Chain A
Amino acid sequence: MKSFFTENTIGAAFVAKPIQVGDKVITLGIWDTAGSERYEAMSRIYYRGARAAVVCYDLTDSSSFQRAKFWVKELQNCEELCKIYLCGTKSDVIEGDRSLRQIDYHDAQDFTEEIGAQYFETSSKTGKNVDELFQKVAEDYNSTAFQFMTEETGVDLGQKKDSYFYTCCHNN
């Protein structure tokens, strides 16, 4: 399971990931989107109809947290049904040297509560928390799917994630 995210899928901008939720299998369609400012104007095309978004930022780079906040606002404005997951990346680096952390855990947690999102700190290097994150995405989708769907046909979820674990918001 762990290797699925850490090795096989790096370098794939699109992944269809089946996840077991109870007695059902939910397939997440995970899209990587370009996070650079240049393509900001086009980003809406990507998350149209998305039901979940993982907004990533670099725990060792406070400017990337500001970018993440921007994306959160953008998503909240455009996609009401889209659940947001805030994700601090490179947790392995911080575990190695705590002084490198630039975004306090509680600050991030507070912000996440404020926007009604979920907060995770992950490492794509060790794979820590990555599966937990997507498991949570799948479970949340499963529980909300009943509210919105008359018939349980769609096991597929157009789910979007800002850049593959590390790319999106931390570059600027």
Chain B
Amino acid sequence: MMSQRRGIHVDQSELLCKKGCGFYGNTAWQGLCSKCWREVNQREKQRQIQEDWALAERLQREEEEAYASRHQRAQSQPAITPFNKFEERKTKVKSSKVNTVTKFFTPSIKTPPKKDAGPFDTQSTPSPSSSASRQSTLDSDRAAREFIDFLKPVKSGREIFKQCRAFTESMVYKRDMGADELSESVQDFYQNLSERLQSQFKGSSELVEKVMDEVEKYMMTRLYTEVFCPETTDDEKKDLAIQKRIRDLHWVTIAMLCVPVDEEIPEVSDSVVKAITDIIEMDSKQVPKDKLACITRCSKHIFNAIKVSKKEAASADDFLPTLIYIVLKANPPRLQSNIQYITRFCNPSRLMTGEDGYYFTNLCCAVAFIEKLDGQSLNMSSEEFELYMSGQTSPHWPQPTAASSSSGTAALTQVHNSLDLLTGLGERQERVIEKARQLESDLIDWTDEVEQEVQSALESFPLETQNTTANTASGTASASLSAIDSENIENEQLPPPLQPQMFAG
């Protein structure tokens, strides 16, 4: 065959798929055609994923075993149930982290590899088996049961359930669609269904709302793992970015943000802690409505804190800075993912109107503020801001009385006290070291001095020395002995030694 073009000769056989299926291959796909490449690539990827899961599971098992053996005694005590609960959440988070790690391992997130595997593979093996996905299947089973129970007394409930299930299942296979498209189709579904229900229930909007809530709960519990922080978006990157940003902003104080909250009052600090807990808890919920409820609860605690501190009603000018402060203190896990997830899959009427929508909007504002935060928004120069951000300095802690009365929980003041103590100790240690050095040099000087004196003494009394050496006849010790003798100035004043005398007789 003549496949000559502009002087480049390529043999026809080189262009064909290496698997010999008769289609053209591509160097980018290791000389395979698109179909064969997908097969090969898919298998490899699947193997990789399974290996990763196995590794992750083993690691987790080991960790859990180690933990269990260490804490067996503690867990047998009944008094610490809240702590157990916390631990449970922690392990849950841990498992989801494992999930993230595997995501890093799977190469080329952008090219959707699961597309073809979708309808066939996912049916037989839902997803790489793991404790997390098993948990989610359990959750969605329970959600389905509850949904059915709820719909039983509702007119044409069967029909509603069938539609929701069909739509949800179809969504599972569309997961590599862009997040915006996914969101759009879910929102369309919500709207169509609610319109139909509206006409069906003759405008009993309360019932429609209730049904829609249940629909959302059922669908999103089922779809959570697929559509929360999907690989097609950069949600995860944004999560990490905001997390790092908040960490870098650790030095921001209540006074800089003009937060009208006095944490010295026990009730206020209690509310602050509750607000922080609520906003962190948001990540553990699956249904958008439940996540919103966490935000609303957090906001209510904030309002309480302001009300108690100011002893008067709070306005948005008080609320927003306090919310920003709470978000900075809490650094809620996967903040951006959660916001995106709620925006994409929550019933739109809830976000536009109602209390939940209002507080959610405030949270979005708080996050936007934190992202854009600069020196000006904290009433400081940009140089100062940069210094703090780079960690070179930090605003001086004990910022006399004013700060300590307005900010500082007991723990914080304690930390400051210890810090002060430590700096004091450091100074003292330095002084000790300096003194020690001085002592050392003094000692050296002293020995030098002594040596010099000895030398000079030796030089001034050379004869005596010789005498004594001869007398004592002990070689090595002679020097020191003679030195002692040489110093013996009284020698000269002694009467001359007795001479032997002859007595005739």
Contact = CB atoms under 8 A, between A and B. Distances in A.
A156 interface: yes
A158 B356 CA distance: 12
A34 B377 contact: no
Contact of B354 (A10, A11, A29, A39): A29
A79 B349 CA distance: 19
A31 B351 CA distance: 13
Interface of B: 195, 198, 205, 303, 307, 312-317, 319-321, 349, 352-355, 357-359, 361, 364-365, 368-369, 372, 377
Given A11-B303, A11-B307, A158-B353, A34 B361 contact: no
B316 A34 contact: yes
Residue in A31, A34, A154, A163 whose Cβ sees the most chain B Cβ within 10 Å: A34
B319 A13 contact: yes
A107 to B, nearest CB: 26
Given A34-B316, A34-B317, A164-B315, A45 B352 contact: no
Given A29-B358, A153-B195, A158-B352, A13 B316 contact: yes
A122 B128 CA distance: 63
Contact of B316 (A16, A41, A156, A163): A163
A13 B353 contact: no
Nearest to B366: A42
A41 B349 contact: no
Contacts of B320: 34, 39
Contacts of B353: 16, 29, 156-158
Given A13-B358, A16-B354, A157-B353, A42 B313 contact: no
A32 B315 contact: yes
A14 interface: yes
A5 interface: no
A167 interface: yes
A89 to B, nearest CB: 13
Contact of B314 (A11, A31, A33, A153): A11
Contacts of A38: 377
A36 interface: yes
30 contacts: A11-B314, A12-B313, A13-B303, A13-B314, A13-B315, A14-B359, A16-B354, A29-B353, A29-B357, A31-B358, A32-B315, A32-B319, A34-B321, A34-B365, A39-B320, A42-B365, A42-B368, A45-B361, A45-B364, A45-B368, A49-B352, A153-B195, A156-B349, A156-B352, A157-B353, A158-B353, A158-B357, A163-B315, A163-B316, A171-B317
Contacts of B205: 155
A163 B368 contact: no
A14 B314 CA distance: 11
A46 interface: yes
